[in-house]
Structures are given as C-alpha cells and as structure tokens.
Structure 1
Amino acid sequence: MSDDLARRNASAHQIVEPPFSVATEIAGPLPSTTSKKRKVRRLVPMPPGIHAGELHKAARSYIGAARKLEQGRQQFLSPRYFLLCHGLELGLKAFLAANGDRWSMLMGLGHDLNASYKRAQVEYGFQPAEPLLNKVIELMSPEHKKQLFRYPGTVWLELPGSDQCCDVIDGLLDQISGGVDEVRGLTTFRMRLENLAPDPNRIE
C-alpha cells in the first residue's frame, strides 16, 4: 500500500470530537482511539431564584434589542414584535421563577402569555403597576402563542405600537426587579453556605 493511500484510509477512520461538550455529557463518552477516560460532568438544574435573575436579564436584552429596531419601523416589523413578545414572556416567567416555579413548570406554559400572566395573578397575587399591561397581553398573546411573528405572510389587524409596548414591558420589568434581585441574592447566599457547610456523610 502506498503512503498516500495509507494516509487517506487513516483519515477516513479518524474520530472527530464534537464541537459541543454538552452533547457528550448527556449522551455519554464517545468511542476513542486512546485509553484516556472522559470526565462526565453532572448536569444540575438551575435553582428558581438564580433562574429568575437570568430570565429577567434576558428579558431586558430582548426589549433593548426591540428598541434598537425602532429605527427601521416597517422594515423590521416582525422581528421587533417577536423580540417584544419573547421579552414579555421571559419577564412573566422571571416573576414566576422568583416565586418558586421550576424549569419544568415554566416550560410547560410554553409561549402562552395569557397562561403565564394568569398564573402570576392567581397563584402569586401579581397586580400590574402598568395599567396597559392587560391590553398588551390580550392583543399579543394569540400571535405569540402561534409564533406568527416568526413567519412571513400573516396580517395583524390590531396591535399596539411597538414603542408603547417597550415602555409597558419595561414597566413590568421595573416592577418585579426588586423581588427578583432579592430572591436571587438569597439563593446565592444559601448556595454559598451549603458549599461551606461540612458534609455529614464525609469520612475524614
């Protein structure tokens, strides 16, 4: 066998590492030509208090991006309303997570703004400081639930102005920010204490 043919055969059987380590961690170690063992990390669910802070921060970024697209007006109509709806969804779920709702509950609500809003009101007594929030959710929830802002060809007959939506959703985020920050801080403090506490099962 020629050297060139040998190199081609070796290349054809070469094992390529995946670009994302998470896939390996979930699926388990991939076959390897070496005997070196892979380290598999344990995936730990994010506590609701920490999750609430991350959701709130992400919501701010979506609304900020929607404001940037205000300059395009008609050109960026669909992307702008998609960002607004998703920012609103994350804001509502940040409030729910701050009150103890876990990832599975939030994912079960899907993209239904009405369902998240109703749960916030009924289960945790949320009362909006911004009077227009009810109307914004009423008008935008059906479109967002069906993900219509992501696809062309849909005509929206009644939508609030996007600049007004930005103000309303920012008002919601302002209203819940104190509670979210408090829960996030307490959760972080408790986690640090737990890490410092001695393990009763540990044998010296």
Structure 2
Amino acid sequence: MFIVNDIYTQKQEIKKSNFISYICPFSEFEDVHKMLKDEHPKAVHIVWAYRHYNKYFQIVENSSDDGEPKGSSGPPCLDALRGAELIDTCVFVVRYFGGIKLGVGGLVRAYSSSVNLAINAANLIKFEIKDECVFFVPFTLIARFEHYFNKENLEEIQKNFNELGCEYLFKFNKAEFVKFSEFAKLFEMQDFSFLAIPLFAN
C-alpha cells in the first residue's frame, strides 16, 4: 500500500466542463474540503472519496457524489484510490459545468480519469503499519536501552521520567517490535516492563 504526504493537483477539460482534482493525506480532509469550498464558490460539484485505517487497523472508506447522479462520481474516485493501493488518502474533484451533459458513463470516466491524473502526479510513499508501544525502563538500564535505540535508528515519540526511571512511547512496525521485544525481555527480571503493546503483537 501507499500514502501521500502532500497535496497534489491536476486539471482537465471534458466537453467544456473543467475538472480540478486534488489528492492529499486523509489527516487534511476537513481543512482541504473547507479550503476548496472557499476557493471555488461557483463550482457546481465538489466530489470526494477517502480510504484510511482506523485505530484498529480496519480500512474505512467513504465517498460523496455531491449532487451528481448517484454512483457516477464518488464511487469511481474511490475505485481509483483502491486501484492505486492508496491508504490514509483522500481525493477531491471540483467540477465547473460547461453546459454539456456527459451522461452517467461519461461522468464515471471523467471523475476516475481526473483522480488518476492527480495520482500519477503525486509522490507515492510505501506505507507500513506502525503502532504504539509503551514501556518502562528503570534508571539502571536507560543507557543500555538508549544505545539500542541509537543502533537501530529508532526515535521515541515521547518519554516521561519519574523517580524510578523513564516511561517511553515508540511507534514500531512489526519487524521492529519483534526485534525490540527479544532485546527487552532480557531485562524483565530487572524491572523493565511493557505497559502497552501494538495490536499486531496480540
């Protein structure tokens, strides 16, 4: 699967209608939707679709025809995202009507091709699932754990010190977690402990 980390846009004209497509990270869905409504007040339709993982790593999908005939625009946009194996990504297609009706088949082709133009222009990044892991390291072991993090090029999301040691928050992919777990279990008799492990480890 793939993600994008920026906004990319393309446009095309089909039978005097202008289609302007945007692809961006799902985290920016609300902001970009509002921006497009503000920037294109005279647009007849702003069609959208998205795919993203929820906190349980289940794929959530949705789309809107925004006034176009049912199934003629939102679903083809969503199908383009699926076809490109994109996740945590959303697309918008702004349409300025040119006076010539395209018919349902024409609309399906127009919207899917508009999304594909944006996908082809985007920098697609390989996606890997990473989930949170929280663990406690006593002061006597912190130096050894910090050495491990540096050696494996791992960077903590957060760390909180208390009177006994440090509580760390990391995001690991599956391979990183398996390797770290093997290392950390050597110290469970010395007061190291996992406080929360990734879902994929259950």
Q: TM-score, normalised on structure 1?
A: 0.25
Structure with more helix by fraction? 1
The two structures have a TM-score, normalised by structure 2, of 0.25
